[in-house]
Structure 1
Amino acid sequence: MAAQLEVAAGFGGGDVGAPQAMATPGLEMMFRADSAKSADEPGSPVTLRTNFNPLAAFVPAVHTDAEGLARVSVELPDNLTRYRIMVVAVDEGGKRFGTGESNLTARLALMVRPSAPRFLNFGDRFELPVVLQNQTDAPMEVNVAARAGNLELALSGVKVTIPANDRIEVRFAASTVMAGSAIVQVAAVSGEYSDAAVVQIPVNTPATSEAFATYGVIDNDAVAQPILQPGDVFPQFGGLEISTSSTALQSLTDAVLYLVKYPFESSEQLASRVLAISALRDVLSSFQAEGLPAPAELEATVSSDIQTLQNLQNNDGGFPYWRRGFESIPFNTIHVTHALYRASQKGYTVSEEMRQNALAYLRNIESHYPAWYSKETRQTLSAYALYVRNLWGDHDPSKAYRLITEAGLENLSMEAVGWLWSVVDNETHLASIQKYVNNHVVETSGSANFTTNYTDQTYLLLSSDRRTDAILLDAIMEKDPQSDLVVKVVKGLLAHRTKGRWENTQENVFVLLALDRYFNTYEAQTPDFVARFWLGDRYAGADEYRGRTADTHDTSIPMTEVIAQTGGEDLPANIILSKEGTGRMYYRLGLSYAPTDLDLKALDAGFVVQREYEALDDPADVTRDSDGTWHIKAGARVKVHITLVATNRRYHVALVDPLPAGLEIINPALAVSQDVPREGPSTLRYGWWWWRPWYDHQNFRDDRAEAFTTLLWDGVYEYNYYARATTPGTFIVPPTKAEEMYSPEVFGRSASDRVIVE
């Protein structure tokens, strides 16, 4: 529709104020059908409003006439709303300015406003609300008609009476036909007045995506992995993902830099820096790591630290924390002696006198324990001392055997077990330790870690979960290098970094020591190979690796092709992966899919997830039938309560809760939203004294709520958000799902739900 605005600028002589808009505030414009015939005549079309551009016009320059007036013709969009008109004026000399503002309301005598949900799920049945508004001073009989694509409407039309200057709501019962997009057109006619509107609604598949994966390595030749045709899945979703890389080591620069630049210089921290630089120098040089100081600078740092440690050593051979002459600390002394060994192996000069005095302290470590040290603390320190003596060639397997016999493996810390594993030489004892360690590992298809427990004196040992994993990884590589756990524990450790490093000096140094052994054991050859893949008789692709790189290459095969290449649920096809050339190839085979069953049961493949709906204002607003169906009163506010259980440490976790299409999330971050209750301590990570949620970030979207965290410790967590029931109907709700984003085969889901808004 066209509107002409007239503005007086009034530029004449003398002082001139701001120009005044001539349009009257609250000016109302009438839109009518673009048909010359009456809407009552047979075949008379009803104009469909389709242009909803929020900007009606932008005119950068208009010149006034001799009377100071400027006229602008504007074709208004189809929005039935109030427009804001803003004018800025300037005189010919560019020295005087003025502004003016008014508004304009666009409306029809008869207006149609469909109030469709933001989305639908396949299987939903709902009532589409349509608001009809009479803007005249007389009652109006109106014929309302609706038609839709990808929706079945129970009623195509109805005749209603709208009081003068009033509005009513008409509902059209509808149900989804298939996933995709639904289009609804609604028209209303009363004599010469008419209006029509169209809405488009996405129709989602209410299936949760799932994934399974297997990991492996290829040193020579090829491997064949059978794959069965997935049953009862949507062919347009998911597929097979093949990921390859030439190293399990991602960038380790940040971890080394953390130790190099660590601001404090106790004996423990100096020793950790010596250990890290000595161990990782060759690895980082191979990968041409950026950001590290020059090699000469690093060597000077290590030499200086060794000299500082020598100056700290007490007469008893031990090392205090900060100053010579203070009490020697058993753990620090063992750790420094460990660092001196690693440095000597990399060619750094270590004083023979300092070495012998430190080893003498370690041989009689038990005599240096304070009386208040607990039995477990003493046992762990003795195990570490035996490990370091063994590195220096001072073997004492009989003492290690006595320690195991007196304490029992089950009463030793996992760190002590890992250190003693390297010392004992009896095959029976080695087998017992290997069995014990294997029984205390928690595995997924892609990663692994070990179960640990701590005491009140853990601070004396500077223990942590990551350090334990690293110590046991190092022992496994030494004693059982072909173990499948090796690559999994490496992946678990790498996934646990924050900003490229681990939590503290102890974690960083022991992880780096283990990765140094890993590099020299499994990745000593410079990669120079081509990886090729086949699915059945189809060639799927190839990746090439020349030289050391931390890059990962991905190849995707759509589900339609996976189904085509597999001959049925009982006739598997082979995924063949080959490697031609030198170096180790790492691979991940992942299968992602969406089940066609809309009534999914809860599933635990790494997480336990449960969802409930609770009334916020009146307990009667939300009820549940014996069959699990939820009933929610239209207009009611609802608390969505998610319970998430992690049975083990999880990394990069995403929690996604799909919304019933009849509900809309109340986002408290928006100024126009209603207030919602503040979360209590039960949903927070550390309790009432630190109000921090367990998740790092959350999103509220049209069809779902999302929460993310980089690290999730084992435990029970709660996640709450609030919504309002806006659209009556029966709605299918996909399961709530939690997964590790980078290992989606580790996941869990709640059951599907059915929600009736009434």
Structure 2
Amino acid sequence: MEHPPRVGRGGSAAASRFALAPDATLGDYAILLSEDPAKHDRNDQYNGGFTVAAFRQPLMAGRIGVAPARLPVLSGQAPTIEASLRHANGGAAKGWPVRMRATLNRTPTREKTEYGYKISASDWYVDAPDWKDRNSIVTLDERELTLNAGGSVNLALPSLPRKDYPYNLLLELTYADPNGEQQMLGEQATVWPAAIRVGLAAHGKPEIGRPLLLKALALDTKGARQSGQALRISARRARPGDGQHRNATTSYDALGIVCEGRSDALGILECPYRFHAAGAYEFTAHTQDADGRAATVAVETRVGAGPSAGKDLFMRADRALYQAGETARLRIDVPFAKANALLAVEREGVMETRVIALAGPRAQIALPILPAWGPNVFVSVLAIAPLTQAAMADPGARPDHAWGALNLKVGMRHRALRVTLKSDKPGYAPRERDKVRIHVAMPDGKKVPPGTTVAFAAVDEALLALKDNTSWQLLASLIHGRFYNVSTHTPLALPMGHTPQQQQQRAIQRVLESIARIQKGAPAVLESAMSLKRSVIVTGSRVAASDASEPVLPPAPKDRAPALRALLDNLLLWEPAIALDGNGEAVIEVPLNDALTRFRLVAVASVGSNYFGNGSINIDVAQDVQVSSGLPPVVHAGDRLQAMVTVRNAAKRALTLDVSARAEGVAPLPTRSITLAPGASQVVRWMVDIPEGRAALAWQLGATEAGKPGNGDRLAVSQSIAPATPVTVQAATLRELDGAFAIPLALPRDALAGSGSLNIAFQASLAGGMPGVRRWFERYPYQCLEQRASVAFGLPDQSAWGKVMAELPKYLDADGLASYFPVPASGGADGSDTLSAYLLALSHEAGWAIPDTERTRMLEGLAAFAQSKIKRAHWAPRDDSTARRLAAVAVLSRHARASAAMVAGVRIDPDEWTVAMLTDWLNVLRRVEGIPNARALQEQAENQLRARLGFQGTRTVFSSEKRDHWWWLMGNGDVDAARLLLAVRDLPPWRDDLPRIAGGLLGRQQGGAWSSTVANVWGTLAIKQFAGQFEAAAVTGRTGVTLASSQSPPKAVQWDAGQPAPMTLPLAQGPFELRLAHAGGGKPWVTVQALAAVPLLAPQSAGYRIEKSMTPVQQRVPGRISVGDLWRVSVDVDAQADMTWVVLDDPVPAGASIMGSGLGRDAAGATKGEQSGGPRPAYEERNFTRYRSYYRHIPRGRFSQRYTIRINNAGTFVLPPTRVEAMYAPDVFGAIPNAPLQINE
């Protein structure tokens, strides 16, 4: 999707809007900024992104952690775990059942600490033999508990194992969210071997006779520096021959204690160490906490035998962080008695320089901190010592010098705008309006400049619980720590005949004149002011942008039954530019919808390019009686499951409530009466049978106080129904009706009772499309770019085509070629010339436009491919380079972008070429000028095509069809027949053959459609063009329909009234005979399709053999599947041949959640152990009904795929078959039936 942003007043911010389709591709979307989108070699800048996912919005919030949180968790302790839950709009979840789990593993979390220090046990080595591997998990405790009246519970854990290295304590709180999903809150705590951590850094060049400065750093477990801590540094040297790096077999000679003492105010102990011999050295810093627990860390260095130029200069600052306007006092350890020095403030270049005088051994300088130095700068000092008198006599003498650098961190308080929000009140009822006052001030409290605007958003906190929006932290998003990226070169050759003082000054002058600052890598530049940073989560209609013209919801009446809550969007309002008045204030009115939740109101401000800030407040929307739906969003027809509704009493008195649930098509459910204490909640359950033959259920859930119908809540919920056994075409024919004909009919023996029907469609011409093909596209399940574009055309649906084209930019690679699935944000050259050629040809032939920018990029990429400027390597069973080049040039010729030079190097060999290559070659010869002997070559190509063309009964066939089945290029015999018809439709020698070719193309249909998406697109285009040329006679009169041996009476359609409507007749087992007769002018086309739902009763293997199993990851009750369990699904497939673009499609039970979405509330570590064997998927889909993985290439042999599901609903669940299919060779597939799944509470 490309959207030119609208730049607001002042030019500092821009706004852009785009709408996501309800069926938008799931996954991560990247937002890119481009100065010139039309350029082929444009430089797109990654600017953040968002995620589109299928999710259920959580209705509770909570936490779990070690109590008290301020204290570290230490080895040997018996910590207490505290957990709490509250409802999304406030109020403790009193009496709610939860499950708490504590596990251990040894993989520590690396923490950011002081630059240059290695911190104690920040890596693990071979020192932990008691764990089998770094990912192994040991369960410490697991309990099912009930929250107290305050919505919390504590769990005392047994004593933690004593280790001399850190490990992880993983805490999980699992509970049944009122949305019907089992959710998990997780926390990870590091178990430390001691309450003190120690760091060690070695500064300087390891060299014999030269001091190495060792710095030990004392920290607490949260990273705070500890002064007065006793520290000790010791050394040892590896024995010769034991290697350069420490391992389990290295032997050492101890060198004793280097130094010991107490840390200073910055938590540091410094001491120098001089090397006396070359070799590998290890230095160890050691400390103990107040209870005698030890912490150690070791660093290694290797000392060479030869000297190096220059000396090291050590620097340190008196503080870890400064603010603008403060003064940094730097201490410099100078290796000379006196020196002049060049001090430089640097950051990806030189910001400031000055010459200073230094006196050893330790000098101090004061450096005022400037605002422009945030968030950090590097201060370097190049010190130059004067030459001695003895050195003056040496013509090649150079002054001795030393260099050092220090990173100064500078806070950004001076750039942070003061943004505050104030609401009328903290709590509201549904459909009320909230007036929010926004105030913005400069960092010093002064007024902001005139014309300042703020962006405002009102978003459901539940959405942010799944994935936070970090783009609101504007200052942090824009200002990142900067890199040094500077090298200093010092040519210090000096002329003779001057005093040492003059020589030193001359040396400094030469350094200043010739110092070279070399940029290394890309600078960390400011990113866009509205960077999204993978923040927003949207799916379908759950998120809708607010519009000023949106109608205002009226307040709910209080004197009758409560209003039906239906508008539950989690985005209330988004205003990208609200103007502030002269006092830096604005008032905005936020219309609340029906959601009972907590909203976060956020204002984001910027002034120019230097000042940024944000502020936020929360408001709760609540009422006395609150109903929450726990219904699965999608179910299968035939499921029998528990429908769950959670009712909450938020009033301050006890309530007796009548709870109901009803939906048309579902057997009536009894009303339940419950009594709830103040603040209490209860889940009400009914067993529900999901009916067949419906696409959705419209539920109304309600709870009203007994005797007071106005006090209650009603909620509207839509639930989709997917067929467990889809209705498919069992037999079909497309016939031009000339008089009368009869068709015998019978449904398969295994067809489900009541699922059979007979669809009859009438057409005066095939130019309007074919019903069988349209139905095939309506049922097509897969979702790559080619398939989405083909389905949009095949339906035909211009709106769907427009949505695909809006998403097209994210499918184009760096060269402009289209990929089957979205290109990663990191970019790359993953596009396909074959897919690009197909999309451009389809667009040109059908007249369905591709946006200019994307069409230009694709044509330029295809031209580069045809000219061999770029290459695309992919797996193929034979050399297809000539075929791909011809296809590219043929498409370029449609757009007058092909030249004879593009085919000059092609070896012309029509005898060996496929029908597809001959067709492309024919098109190139007809459209491209300048090809030598074009007329003779065209005649040769036509003769080859005629020689291979044949007919078997009513089917068009080719003599080389088996050899020409190049499925990896999306081709087959159906595609070849259709493209041939299009290529020769206007060639006079072929005119008499066109009706037979067209009839033979129709004869290739099976079940009313051709074999693949590409075949159905080209077939539709070919028949449409043929019909436009040859069908001229109008159809008049009457067409009669009789289904013999059935109870259906004879029917008829009249043509004089216009296009007749399709006819649907019930069809039982039969056998029957369908009789059609036309009386009148013209020859109508009749499409007949016999439909039925036929379950798969036994495995099918036509190229793929499938095995499927489920194993528990977490199981509440051994031997059965229960709500709250985690199960690993394994699908193992034996492939009999290499294939490209293979899809694995596996259903999940209704209500189950597929782990690994990356959103919050996933079970911690649930996906560990999902190692799959074989190729990695090119793309994965996780939605409410199935897991799908798409593979670019599956080699012959065995491959496997693993994924993990969480069980959320009890009942008996029917599942469609598991299927593996080669998408462009659909006759290569495998399928297995899935037995109904019984899930217990």
Length-normalised TM-score, structure 1: 0.51
Does 2:655 match 1:182? no
Task: Provide the rounded CA distance (Å) in 2 between the counterparts of 1:170 and 1:259.
Answer: 66
The answer for the alignment partner of 2:1209 in structure 1 is 727
1:163-218 CA-to-partner distances (Å, cap 9, x unmatched) read x3232211122112233211221111235741121211011221157679999xxx
Higher relative contact order (CA 8 A, sep 6+): 1
Structure 1 residue 77: Cα displacement: 0.5
> Which of these residues, 656, 666, 677, is aligned with residue 1167 of structure 2?
677
1:200 aligns with 718
Verify the 8 A CA contact 2:436 2:590 in the aligned structure 1.
Answer: no
1:204-603 alignment runs, 5 A limit:
204-208=722-726, 229-231=746-748, 232=751, 234=755, 240-241=772-773, 261=868, 294-295=899-900, 486-492=959-965, 494-497=966-969, 529-530=994-995, 531-532=998-999, 551-553=1018-1020, 569=1071, 571=1073, 595-597=1093-1095, 600-603=1097-1100
Answer whether contact 1:241 1:590 (CA < 8 A) is retained. no
Alpha-carbon distance between aligned partners in 2 of 1:79 and 1:280, rounded to the nearest angstrom: 57
Gaps of at least 5 residues in structure 2 are 1-430, 462-552, 734-740, 760-770, 777-833, 842-860, 872-878, 909-934, 938-946, 972-982, 1011-1016, 1025-1059, 1077-1086
Contact residue 757 and residue 1092 of structure 2 kept, 8 A: no
Looking at structure 2, the residues matched to 654 and 704 of structure 1 have their Cα atoms a distance apart, in angstroms, of 12
Output the amino acid matched with 1:45. Answer: A
| Paired residue type of 2:435 | L
- Offset at residue 61 of structure 1 (A): 7.9
CA distance in 1, matches of 2:1069, 2:659: 53
The question of whether the paired residues in 2 share the 8 Å contact of 1:155 and 1:173 is answered with no
Structure 1 496/724 Cα, relative in aligned 2: closer, same or farther at 3 Å? same
Does residue 1146 of structure 2 align to residue 657 of structure 1? yes
Superimposed CA distance per residue, residues 286-313 of structure 1 (whole angstroms, 9 cap, x where no aligned partner): 996889985468658989xxxxxxxxxx
Q: Count how many residue pairs are aligned between Structure 1 and Structure 2.
A: 498
CA deviation after TM superposition for structure 1 residue 78, in Å: 0.8
> Which residue of structure 2 aligns with residue 613 of structure 1?
1110
Residue 119 (1) aligns with residue 586 (2): no
Amino acid in structure 2 at the alignment position of 1:167: S
- For residue 708 of structure 1, report the CA deviation from its aligned partner: 1.9
Q: 1:722 to 1:117 in 2, by over 3 A?
A: same
d(CA) in 2 for partners of 1:120, 1:297:
54
Alpha-carbon separation, structure 2, partners of 1:256 and 1:89: 46
Q: CA deviation at 1:159?
A: 2.4
Residue 489 of structure 1 aligns to a residue in which SS?
coil
Per-residue deviation at 1:105? 1.0
**After superposition, where does 1:46-195 map in structure 2 within 5 Å?**
46-57=562-573, 72-87=588-603, 100-162=615-677, 164-178=678-692, 179-190=694-705, 193-195=711-713
Q: For 2:631, what is the secondary structure of its paired residue?
A: coil
The answer as to whether partners of 1:657 and 1:735 remain within 8 angstroms in 2 is yes
3-state secondary structure, aligned to 1:126: strand
| Cα shift at 1:236 | 7.4
- Whether contact under 8 Å (1:700, 1:706) holds in the other structure is yes
CA distance in 1 between partners of 2:885 and 2:645 (Å):
68
- Which residue is 2:1127 aligned to? 638
Structure 1: tracts of 5 or more residues without a match: 38-43, 216-223, 244-248, 265-271, 304-345, 349-475, 501-518, 544-549, 575-588, 624-630, 686-691
SS of residue matched to 2:564: coil
Question: Structure 1 residue 130: deviation in Å?
Answer: 1.1
Is 1:662–1:729's contact at 8 Å kept on the other side of the alignment?
no
> Residue 407 of structure 1 aligns with which residue?
none
CA displacement, residues 107-146 of structure 1 (integer Å, 9 cap, x when unaligned): 1122110111121111111111111222234443322122
Report if aligned partners of 1:641, 1:720 keep a CA contact under 8 Å in 2: yes
**1:698 CA drift (Å):** 1.8
Query: In 1, are the aligned partners of 2:595 and 2:621 still within 8 Å (CA)?
Result: yes
Aligned counterpart, 2:1219:
737
Distance 1:7 1:283, change over 3 A: closer
For the residue of structure 2 that corresponds to 1:553, the secondary structure is helix
Partner of 2:556: 34
The residue type paired with residue 433 of structure 2 is: A
1:715 paired residue number: 1197
Match in the other structure for 1:2: 432
- Measured in 1, the distance between the counterparts of 2:888 and 2:616 equals 68
Aligned-partner residue type, residue 704 of structure 1: R
Offset, 1:276: 6.3
Deviation at 1:47, TM superposition (A): 1.9
Residue 717 of structure 1 and its aligned partner are, at CA, apart by 2.5
Q: SS where residue 963 of structure 2 aligns?
A: helix
**Alpha carbons of structure 1 residues 524 and 704: separation in structure 2 relative to 1, 3 Å:** farther
The alignment partner of 2:660 has SS state of strand
Give the aligned partner of residue 697 of structure 1: 1179
CA displacement at 1:719 relative to structure 2: 1.9
- Structure 2 distance, partners of 1:566, 1:620, is 45
Query: Secondary structure at 1:748's aligned position in 2?
Result: strand
How far apart in 1 are the matches of 2:1237 and 2:1009? 48
1:353 is aligned to: none
Q: Secondary structure at the residue paired with 1:160?
A: strand
The superposition leaves residues 421-449 of structure 1 with CA deviations (integer Å, 9 ceiling, x where unpaired) of: xxxxxxxxxxxxxxxxxxxxxxxxxxxxx
Distance 1:185 1:294, change over 3 A: closer
For 2:596, the aligned partner's letter is L
Aligned partner of 1:602: which letter? P
Determine if contact 1:642/1:718 at 8 Å carries over to the other structure: yes
Secondary structure class of the residue paired with 2:1162:
coil
CA apart distance, 1:70:
5.6
Q: Deviation at 1:594?
A: 5.5
Amino acid at match of 1:713: P
Q: CA deviation at 1:634?
A: 0.6
Partner of 1:307: none
Cα contact 2:1129–2:1205 (8 A) shared by 1: yes
Structure having the larger proportion of residues in helix: 1
Q: For residue 16 of structure 1, what is the aligned residue in structure 2? A: 447
What CA distance in whole angstroms lies between the structure 1 residues aligned with 2:870 and 2:635? 56
- Residue in 2 aligned with 1:390? none
Distance 1:542 1:745 in 2: 14
Cα separation, 1, equivalents of 2:870 and 2:1152:
53
* CA distance, structure 1, for counterparts of residue 659 and residue 568 of structure 2: 22
State whether residues 662 and 731 of structure 1, in contact with CA within 8 Å, keep that contact through their aligned partners in structure 2: no
d(CA) in 1 for partners of 2:640, 2:989 = 62
In 1, are the aligned partners of 2:862 and 2:892 still within 8 Å (CA)? no
* Cα distance in 1, alignment partners of residues 1008 and 1097 from structure 2: 35
Contact 1:142-1:159 at 8 Å conserved across structures: yes
Amino acid at match of 2:1142: V
